Structure 1
């Protein structure tokens, strides 16, 4: 199968869409990092948005305060979440486990 040749306008539109998607995902992680959104709210927002659903779970967890690579890995291993899993690929029990683990106390 050959790669279709895109016009300049189509390439620009694709670049703009990709840039907007990256900004939207970065904004979600930024809001989680600053405390404007809880993990549960971020997961719910991603459930209804195709762009946000592509955020890697480990990246979202590392955006939380006091969560680094090690703690994120431990939590994901305990909940049987693969290291390369994206929010879209989480099961309902995994989502519930994440919400319970990081619920506000």
Structure 2
């Protein structure tokens, strides 16, 4: 417990690069959800794309579900509970049975 690990001090350039990378990651995740919202991608396709992309794998499952037409907070929560998916779970943390369940639910 007594380990005093210091956080490395980043240079201004490193901080700017980190901020830019974070902004880019947020844009990519927002774009994925927008494609699901518009119908350009199905939930199944979005899960597959996110499964192969480290940035997109960080999208919260509940946020992706709420991007679907006619899916709000209540329906997303109910589906996740039925499939035994934790409320804070991200796509990366889904098991194959959970993925199969989501794909079957939203064909």
The TM-score bracket by the shorter chain reads: over 0.9
Residue of structure 1 in register with 2:46 after alignment? 42
Q: CA deviation at 1:55?
A: 0.3
Residue of structure 2 in register with 1:3 after alignment? 7
Q: Which runs of 5+ in 1 are unaligned?
A: none
Residue of structure 2 in register with 1:32 after alignment? 36
Q: Deviations over 1:29-84 (max 9, x none)?
A: 00000000000000000000000000000000000000000000000000000000
Q: TM-score if structure 1 supplies the norm length?
A: 0.97
Residue of structure 2 in register with 1:89 after alignment? 93
Is 1:99 the equivalent of 2:103? yes
Deviating runs (4+, > 3 A) in structure 1? Answer: none
- Equivalent residue of 2:64, what SS? helix
* Cα distance between partner residues in 2 of 1:27 and 1:100: 23
* Cα distance between partner residues in 1 of 2:13 and 2:77: 42
Residue of structure 2 in register with 1:14 after alignment? 18
Q: How many residues align?
A: 103
Whichever of the two has the greater Rg, that structure is: 2
Question: In angstroms, what is the RMSD of aligned CA positions?
Answer: 0.3
Q: Which runs of 5+ in 2 are unaligned?
A: none
